[in-house]
Amino acid sequence: MLLRYKLIIILLSAIMLVGCNKEMRDDPIGPKCNISLTATDYNPTPHTFVKPNPGFQFLLQPANNEATEEGIYLGRKLFYDPVLSKDSTMSCASCHLASASFTDQNAVSEGISGLTGTRSSMSLMNAGYHEPKLFWDGRAFTLEEQALQPVEDALELNHSWAAVEQILSCDSTYAVDFRRAFGISSSNEITKELVAKSIAQFERTLQSGSSRYDTIVYHLIGFFSTREQNGSDMFFDDLPDLPDAECFHCHIPPLFTNQEFMNNGIDSAANLFDFPDLGRGGVTGDSILNGKFIVPTLRNIALTAPYMHDGRFQTLEEVLDHYNSGGHGSPNKDPLIEPLGLTEEQKEDIIIFLHTLTDTFATKNPSYQSPF
């Protein structure tokens, strides 16, 4: 009798252990649930995008995914929900922290398996303005396309979309959210495409245009300090008496990027096949584009260290030292990367100016934070 009780206890313990194991999603994926949703109203409210400040262009939305308040709400939930990772430990927000202008402040990001990628997490601020050149190598054209990739990347969330769809379809709260956002009739209509659409809608709302720079330049309120102004004059080559730091050619306001793929001389390469990361060339197959990466925005740059596509520079001082040196040689180094001749004080002034691009109104915007 005692042995029988012991066996039952062991059996129950085993069931509990297995039940708590986060790896259980390796089990065969069951069918999607079929929760009827027609009793829930579908009456979405269109979202009106307001420009971050008067200097920005008008944002364009894809015709097949115009933002609604319900879609944005759903996308925000999914962005912060670890349900998208295989072991439910990581979400999009794990590598895109609002407080760090939606980067993770690591040189390269770590996925659920402890494996690291080769590139640094990119800022999602003003992401809608950076279409159609997303990721460091521009391999995604739209935010919808971009949002599909990390879930199944073994170095990131390492999940399967089939499993995610199945889990979400059986979650009655999410099922209603999808109904309200997209008008589906049954939870079995939840697809990865709808997940990506909602996340993209949320990401398009992430806007930064309220920094000290914006207040002074676009709202004409206040003035730069002497050192900020010096930095600005060198950044934009506004005064012939000061050196031209050549920053503005690639970092043009209001986005502070020219949205081009460039080789900024951070790697020495004897030939076009000598780069440790092929960057844009790895996507297009054109060797002349090897070692080229998208020029990132400088908005909130003081919050997004470390720098470069592989996070090799820990500080802005290191970045300025690199550009001041003229960079390393390679066959396709950009013509703009040449020795600048900046003094230590001039480099400091440029960094002081870069700090005016910090926008804590955006990073602390309640609408961008976790809804959980």
Which residues make up the interface to other proteins (CB under 8 A)? 51, 54-60, 129, 131, 236-238, 248-249, 252-255, 257-260, 284, 286, 288-289, 331-332, 334-338
CA dihedral for 257, 261, 264, 266, sign (positive or negative): positive
Residue 251, token pair as written in the block: 């970092």
Give Dmax (Cα) for the chain.
96
Q: How far apart are CA 189 and CA 83, in angstroms?
A: 18
Q: What's the closest the beta carbon of residue 321 comes to other proteins, in angstroms?
A: 20
CB of 130 to other proteins, least distance (A): 9
Instruction: Considering the complex, state which of residue 52 and residue 311 has its C-beta at the smaller distance from other proteins.
Output: 52
- Cβ proximity to other proteins: between 59 and 148 the closer is 59
Smallest distance, other proteins to C-beta of residue 56, A: 6
Shortest reach from residue 289's CB to other proteins, in Å: 7
CB of 280 vs other proteins, minimal distance in Å: 10
Shortest distance, CB of residue 173 to other proteins, whole angstroms? 35
Give whole-number Cα distances, 191 to 68, 194, 231, 264, in Å: 18, 5, 49, 40
Say if residues 101 and 208 touch (Cβ distance below 8 Å).
yes
User: Please, what is the minimum distance in Å from the beta carbon of residue 326 to other proteins?
Assistant: 10
Beta carbon nearer to other proteins, 37 or 255: 255
- Other C-beta atoms closer than 10 Å to the C-beta of 115 total 13
Q: Which residue, 19 or 335, is less far from other proteins as judged by CB?
A: 335
Residue (118 or 271) nearer to other proteins, CB: 271
258: tokens are 């020219």
Toward other proteins, which CB reaches closer, 87 or 260?
260
Q: Which residues of 140-151 are buried (b: 16+ CB within 10 A; e: fewer)?
A: bebbbbbbbebb
* Contacts of residue 293, Cβ cutoff 8 Å, sequence gap at least 6: 136, 137, 261, 262, 263, 264, 279, 280, 309
Choose between 154 and 239: whose C-beta lies nearer to other proteins.
239
Using DSSP's 3-state secondary structure scheme, residue 367 falls into: helix
User: Which residues lie below 8 Å from residue 254, measured CB to CB, with a gap of 6+?
Assistant: 52, 53, 55, 56, 57, 209, 214, 218
Query: Can you name the residues that pair with 294 across neighbouring β-strands?
Result: 261
Q: How far apart, in whole angstroms, are the C-alpha atoms of residue 126 and residue 259?
A: 13
Q: What are the backbone dihedrals phi and psi of residue 190, each rounded to the nearest 5 degrees, phi first?
A: -70, 125
- Give 286 or 344: the residue with its C-beta nearer to other proteins: 286
Q: How far is the CB of 214 from other proteins (least distance, A)?
A: 12
Task: Please give the DSSP secondary-structure letter assigned to residue 185.
Answer: S
